[in-house]
A and B are shown apart, each in its own frame.
Chain A
Amino acid sequence: MTDHVTAWLGAYHDGELRGLRLRQVETHLAHCATCRAELERLRALATLLQESPAAGDLTPPERFVAQVGLRLPRRPERPTWQRAMEIGWRLAPVGLLGAWAYGQAVFVVTGVVMDALQMGLGGDVVAGLLPVSQQRLWLAEVFSLSNVGLNDAGRIMLRMLSNGGPLGWGVMLHLLLSVVIGLLCCSWLASWWARRQHRQQI
């Protein structure tokens, strides 16, 4: 048998192997004297390390605890505003999620209402609420009044611009809100990660 499992013997010795890898090592060990000898050497090393003396009894536990107690610094009381900031920081993701959900709801409801109005479902009373599409096209009107010569492509571009882009102002605002909330979420995650790393550095 040539494919020795030397690299996995340490993990096997420590009881860290599971499933297929464990069975593979066990099967190999049953047939390979070299790896069995290697495993024995690992066990011998573990025994040697375990037998080496520990630190021994130096300071009695009670005295050690008392000494630590005497050296403990006074933990500074955090001011109220700092605690409030901490709570605010923890609640920030909830706030961002709420803002995003609110934006979504407004966008959907506005879309539904606008579609209903455009189909004339609201009657004459509410027809006045319809967006004045002509106002959106003010830029195009200005250009047409001033007789500025534009080719077809230019006119299409102008129309798109005056409508707030290819998707309209509503969609653009919605996208902007999503991007801003996304950026704020990323900043919060970066800040969370930095705090976590700081805790690891103790």
Chain B
Amino acid sequence: MSSQSASSAETELRLITQAQQGDRRAFGELVRRHREGVVNVVYRMCGDANLAEDAAQEAFIRAWQHLPSYRPRSPFRNWVYRIATNVALDALRRERETVDVDALSLAASDEGPETTMEEKERGERVRQAVLALPPASRAVLVLREYEGLSYREIAGTLNIPIGTVMSRLNYARNRLRESLTPYLEVL
């Protein structure tokens, strides 16, 4: 571990301790540090950018409420990701009762004017294919492919055995390869 990352880890530990004692400013700093990752996890899980922001905020609020019970045995990032995954699944469950997930395409991310129609269509197909996965497999895939967590970290985050991580990941990839075959041949 480099001295810079060690120092960063120490700072984070100090922020966590302060936040556990009720320091909102320290917690704000933790939110700033992990905002991008949490929003990304929630977005990949539920496929809706606006919903993702709300759910990410909800995840941080839940983290604040349960922070006194957090023990720094596992990284704070993984702990927050676990909360984010659960919040995303809850949000998706609520949304599914009122909105068709396929109809969320209009609420998807703003990709900017430079994105070509072909890229947009491909991005949309990937998003739909990921959303079509069972939530348990999708959570493993998102944490691995988009957040780069190791199998051990995913197992710790989702509280499942490493063997289950592997089988869910294999299942998710096989399903995606089937549904995204035309795009995989082009690459």
Contact = CB atoms under 8 A, between A and B. Distances in A.
Contacts, number: 116
A15 to B, nearest CB: 8
Given A202-B66, A202-B82, A11 B53 contact: no
Given A54-B109, A55-B43, A68 B61 contact: yes
Interface string A35-59: 0000001101111111111111011
Nearest to B158: A200
Contacts of B52: 55
Nearest to B86: A202
A111 to B, nearest CB: 43
A46 B57 contact: no
Interface size grouping (class) on chain A: 35 or more
B64 A72 contact: yes
Nearest to A72: B64
Contacts of A199: 66, 69
Contacts of B62: 202
B123 A52 contact: yes
A65 B64 contact: no
Main SS of the interface on chain A?
helix
A71 interface: yes
B115 A53 contact: yes
A10 interface: yes
Interface stretch (B5-13, B23-31, B93-101): B23-31
Contacts of A41: 177, 184
B159 A50 contact: no
Nearest to B146: A49
A10 B110 CA distance: 31
A67 interface: yes
Interface in B131-187: 141, 144-146, 150-151, 159, 166, 169-170, 173, 176-177, 180, 183-184, 187
8 contacts: A10-B169, A53-B109, A69-B28, A73-B64, A73-B65, A75-B64, A199-B69, A202-B66
Interface of B: 22, 24, 27-28, 31-32, 35, 39-40, 43, 49-50, 52-53, 56-57, 60-66, 68-69, 82-83, 86, 109-112, 115, 122-123, 126-127, 130, 141, 144-146, 150-151, 159, 166, 169-170, 173, 176-177, 180, 183-184, 187
